């Protein structure tokens, strides 16, 4: 499973990329707005930090303008994945960009039939929002299972990118279901390192080592 980081904070991206565990980055207008910086500058800097896909989102809602925005974003770097909403205009734009060889992320997916449309439009990634579904009482992980099953039936090339991840449990379940990617807020990735028994065991090992009076270096 690939891990993307869902942030536009360049310091967070650099810090987590240094672990060697980050395969890409997802951004959106809200995340970039928090930086207070120029949108295009932020995307370009992120693309220089990670080698994997960097999702950069169009803000237009009509096809013609969205396509122009997508082409401009794609010019920033080869690893830009142009993000578009799951709307008729968004999918039309996705198809045009895909036909031109540009990676595309289709976002705001909340049903399996929407995911089928995105795959047929040539999306590189489909981004179902599990946390937001659970906020309204629906089963977000069942959606992931449904999409993975459908994609396997037809050998779609679109990767399932699990979004709106609220904690390590979502990551574990998504991995069990065979999702290709999880995009994680930085704090969720950091939570995944933690377990009380790991901390307890390490403390015991270090205490025992200290009693020996030895050093390795």
The answer to whether the Cα torsion of 173, 175, 176, 179 is positive or negative is: positive
Residue 83 a catalytic site member:
yes
Report d(CA 181, CA 171) in Å as an integer: 9
| CA angle in degrees (0–180, nearest 5) for 23-108-59 | 90
The C-alpha atoms of residue 2 and residue 217 are separated, in whole angstroms, by: 35
Q: Which residue has the tokens 């672990």?
A: 19
Catalytic residue among 72, 83, 194, 200: 83
Nearest to 118 by CA among 142, 150, 163: 150
Beta strands in the chain (DSSP E): 2-6, 24-26, 54-57, 80-85, 103-109, 125-128, 159-162, 181-184
Q: Give catalytic residue positions.
A: 83
């Amino acid at each position: 499973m690939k891990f993307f980081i869902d942030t536009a904070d360049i310091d967070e991206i650099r810090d987590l990329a240094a672990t060697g565990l980050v395969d890409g980055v997802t951004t959106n207008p809200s995340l970039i707005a928090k930086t207070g910086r120029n949108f295009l500058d932020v995307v370009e800097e992120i693309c220089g930090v990670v080698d994997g896909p960097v999702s950069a989102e169009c803000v237009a809602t009509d096809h013609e303008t969205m396509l122009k925005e997508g082409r401009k974003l794609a010019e920033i770097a080869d690893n830009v994945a142009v993000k578009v909403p799951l709307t008729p205009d968004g999918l039309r734009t996705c198809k045009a960009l895909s036909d031109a060889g540009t990676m595309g992320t289709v976002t705001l997916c909340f049903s399996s039939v929407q995911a089928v449309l995105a795959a047929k439009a040539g999306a590189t990634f489909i981004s179902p929002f599990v946390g937001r579904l659970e906020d309204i009482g629906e089963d977000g992980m069942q959606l992931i299972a449904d999409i993975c099953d459908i994609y396997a039936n037809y050998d779609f090339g679109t990767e399932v990118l699990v979004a709106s991840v609220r904690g390590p449990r979502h990551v574990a379940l998504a991995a069990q279901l065979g999702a290709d990617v999880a995009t994680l807020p930085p704090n969720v990735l950091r939570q995944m390192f933690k377990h009380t028994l790991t901390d307890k065991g390490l403390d015991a090992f270090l205490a025992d080592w200290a009693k020996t009076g030895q050093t390795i270096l």
